[in-house]
Amino acid sequence: MARIGIIGAGSWGTALAFELSGNGHSITIWSIDPEEVRMLNTYHEQKVKLPGVILKDTITATDKLDIAIFGMDLLVLAVPSPFTRQTARKMQPYVEDGQLIVSVAKGIEEDTLLTLSEIIEQEIPQCRTAVLCGPTHAEEVGRSLPTAIVAGSTDDRTARYVQDIFMSRTFRVYTSPDILGMQIGAALKNVVALAAGISDGLGFGDNTRAALITRGIAEIGRIGCAMGGKPETFAGLTGTGDLIVTCSSMHSRNRRAGILIGQGKTPKEAMDEVQQVVEGVFSAKAAKQLSEKYKVDTPIINEVYAVLFEGRNAADAVTDLMLRDKKQEQENGKEHDNL
């Protein structure tokens, strides 16, 4: 049995608490919100963000960071990606030398273009880091539906340790050394999910969504490989797998926000209605900057950025994607250019 502190009591942090407690681990959840802490300790349920998932009464919640960190074998950092740096900075004084932090959020920091594990290492230099990514909706993990995910670390022993901690009959964990590629895929798929949602909101069909998913993974892979990620990572669970589930499910807050934008709401109105952090909106800025920095062609990402931040009409964006110059999908067996 491991002692695990989960930093962040949103839907994903709560679902992982449910999963890990089922493996017999001792769980403490931290939330910045005292009311959320009271709710979890009183009802053993995240009634707002993950209703219906009942936690074991052995799980305790706290708003004291030191309690959630001191003496823990493993820390799971599960706050939304825009809050990773400020949370890591608050954690730093309490983290012991060599203490393992597993990053489970998905995003790229706008200003620095750093991955979340890089932010954690920058703010908490004494820690070890790993990442957990894949096609995993909290709502389904909380119902113990079969799920596959990837534990990533540059150190194989660390990756296998995380694998052992999380693995269960319904939660299958693979390992990977490509933590850069994993995090790029995890972050940028949210941008493509916004595009898929916008397409659905405009009334387009399965053909359109399939095209966006397929060409979207080409754009993600193009950026990721230029940064040093491995092509096979983008064909796996943290690339294609994560993209498919995020573009296809109504559990996806990014797809839901995209649908509302396609129906005519502003990005702010869409985010307000979803009532959760829509990480693809933040990742779109980073994705645009990365495509420019590494000089790769990303028309879908570019159009999503224009809709979100430049007032572009969503229907016009789709039309422009369809009317681009004719392209060859592959050249000599290699992916050539975009939709």
Same domain, residue pair 312 and 191? yes
- 129 and 273 share a domain? no
Residue 19 is inside which H or E element, if any?
Answer: helix 11-22
Radius of gyration, CA atoms only, the chain: 20
Six-digit token string for 312? 């572009």
What is residue 339's predicted lDDT score, i.e. its pLDDT?
40
Give SS3 for 173: strand
Whether 293 is catalytic is no
Place of tokens 């796996």: 236
Listed residues 130, 145, 177: the one ending a domain: 177
Does residue 170 share a domain with residue 276? no
Same domain, 156 and 268: no
User: Which residue, among 272, 255, 163, 266, has the nearest Cα to 209 in the 3D structure?
Assistant: 255
Write down which residue in 177, 194, 213 finishes a domain.
177
Domain-ending residue, one of 121, 149, 177:
177
Do 171 and 230 fall within a single domain? no
CA separation for the pair 238, 26 (Å, rounded): 28
Closest CA to 104 of 191, 172, 178, 13: 13
Q: How far is CA 7 from CA 12, 266, 322, in A?
A: 11, 32, 43
The predicted structure's pLDDT at residue 162: 98
DSSP state of 286: H
pLDDT at residue number 336:
43
Length of the chain: 339
Domain check: are 121 and 192 in the same one? no
CATH number at residue 45: 3.40.50.720
pLDDT at 338: 41
**Whether residues 219 and 81 fall in one domain:** no
- Are 185 and 66 contained in the same domain? no
Which one of 189, 230, 285, 288 is the catalytic residue? 189
314-322 and 299-309 are packed helices; what angle lies between their axes, rounded to 10 degrees?
A: 160
**3-class SS of residue 149:** strand
Query: What range does the domain containing 89 cover?
Result: 3-177
Q: What's the confidence (pLDDT) of residue 229?
A: 97
Cβ atoms of residues 226 and 301 within 8 Å: no
* Confidence at residue 252, expressed as pLDDT on a 0 to 100 scale: 86
Number of Cβ within a 10 Å radius of residue 115: 27
Show the tokens assigned to 278. 């829509």
- Give CA–CA dist 277/18, Å, rounded: 21
Could you list the beta-strand ranges (E) of 117-170. 128-133, 147-152
Task: Note whether 195 and 165 are same-domain residues.
Answer: no
Angle between helices 179-201 and 253-262 (to 10 degrees): 30
What single DSSP character describes residue 97? T
- In whole angstroms, what is the distance from residue 166 CA to residue 172 CA? 8
* Burial state string for 183-195 with b = 16 or more CB within 10 A and e = fewer than 16: bbbbbbbbbbbbb
Which strands make up the sheet holding 60-62, listed edge to edge? 60-62, 26-30, 3-7, 74-77, 100-103, 128-133, 147-152, 171-176
Question: Domain count of the chain?
Answer: 2
Rounded Cα distance, 87 and 256, in Å: 27
Separation between Cα atoms, residue 3 and residue 275, nearest integer Å: 32
CATH code, domain carrying 208: 1.10.1040.10
Facing residues of 27 across strands?
4
**The pLDDT value given to residue 334:** 55
> What does the alpha-carbon distance between residue 250 and residue 123 come to, in Å, rounded to a whole number?
35
Mean pLDDT by 10 residues, the chain (339 residues): 97 97 98 97 96 96 98 97 96 98 94 96 98 95 97 98 98 98 95 94 92 94 97 96 92 91 90 83 92 95 94 86 70 49
Q: Please report, for residues 187, 210, 281, the alpha-carbon distance to residue 246 in angstroms, rounded to integers and kept in the order given.
A: 11, 12, 14
Answer yes or no: do 157 and 33 share one domain: yes
